[in-house]
């Protein structure tokens, strides 16, 4: 579908200090990794693939068409970088999936008959609850 190595070479990484509570070491290291990918200027994807990605990843892209992901699960910057690349590739693969067209089907006759029989049964049950008419 696409060349993963060429795609990874287009990614831009930035190491940032992680948020949250920490210890003595937290203010010295930048273990959080922020990945940014400019989808508009990508050379890896064709125009059709770009349109599909824009449609499927619309809520994740900035107004300029940049996808930004971040990871700070691990204390290791390298591990966070690997995790964010893995997540990015999963997102791209999901974004390139073309959903199958739904074929509308007719409701089977047996299902319609079953529903009508159930309605008739319910109607009889309620009719039997009424007191008999004495004439």
pLDDT digits (tens, 9 = 90+) for 82-94: 999 999 999 999 9
116: pLDDT strictly greater than 90: yes
Fold (CATH) for 4-95: Double Stranded RNA Binding Domain (3.30.160)
Residue boundaries of the structural domains of the chain = 4-95
Question: Does residue 24 have a pLDDT over 80?
Answer: no
Q: In this predicted structure, what is the pLDDT of residue 107? A: 95
36 burial type by CB count under 10 A (0-12 exposed, 13-18 middle, 19+ buried) = middle
Write out pLDDT tens, residues 69-79.
Answer: 999 888 888 99
Kindly state the average pLDDT of the residues 58-62: 91
Q: Which residues contact 81 (CB under 8 A, 6 or more apart)?
A: 13, 33, 71
Q: Which of 6-10, 20-24, 46-50, 116-120 is predicted with the least confidence, judged by mean pLDDT? A: 20-24
d(CA 122, CA 131) in angstroms, rounded, equals: 17
Please tell me the distance from the alpha carbon of residue 127 to that of residue 40, in angstroms, as a whole number.
Answer: 68
Distance CA 13, CA 33 (A): 7
The rounded distance, in Å, linking the Cα atoms of 32 and 79 is: 10
99/91 Cα distance (integer angstroms): 15
Q: Residue 21 pLDDT > 80, yes or no?
A: no
pTM as predicted:
0.69
- Per-residue pLDDT band at 5 (split at 50, 70, 90): confident
């Amino acid at each position: 579908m696409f060349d993963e190595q060429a795609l990874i070479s287009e990614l831009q990484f930035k190491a940032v200090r992680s948020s949250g509570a920490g210890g003595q070491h937290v203010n010295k290291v930048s273990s959080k990794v922020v990945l940014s990918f400019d989808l508009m200027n990508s050379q890896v994807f064709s125009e059709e693939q770009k349109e599909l990605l824009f449609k499927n990843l619309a809520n994740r892209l900035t107004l300029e068409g940049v996808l930004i992901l971040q990871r700070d699960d691990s204390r290791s910057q390298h591990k966070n970088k690997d995790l964010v690349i893995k997540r990015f590739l999963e997102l791209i693969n999901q974004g390139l999936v073309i959903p199958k067209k739904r074929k509308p089907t007719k409701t089977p006759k047996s299902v319609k008959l079953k529903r009508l029989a159930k309605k008739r049964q319910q109607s009889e049950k309620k009719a039997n609850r009424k007191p008999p008419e004495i004439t």
